[in-house]
Amino acid sequence: EENLAKVFELINGRYVKLIDATDETLKFHLKNCSIDFDFSKIWQ
């Protein structure tokens, strides 16, 4: 079984799929900050 995270963003009241992440790094923007999230580390 492959480890897979489905990442969505709320845009104009609807959730839009951004990526199916397994070992990618994705930058999340949250109000006044941003974070680089490495999905490969959650499967360890």
Per-residue pLDDT of the chain (44 residues; tens, 9 = 90+): 579 999 999 999 999 999 999 999 999 998 899 999 999 998 87
Which pLDDT score is estimated for 1? 59
Q: What are phi and psi of 42, to 5 degrees?
A: -80, -15
Which pLDDT score is estimated for 23? 92
Q: From CA 1, how far away is CA 30, in angstroms rounded?
A: 31
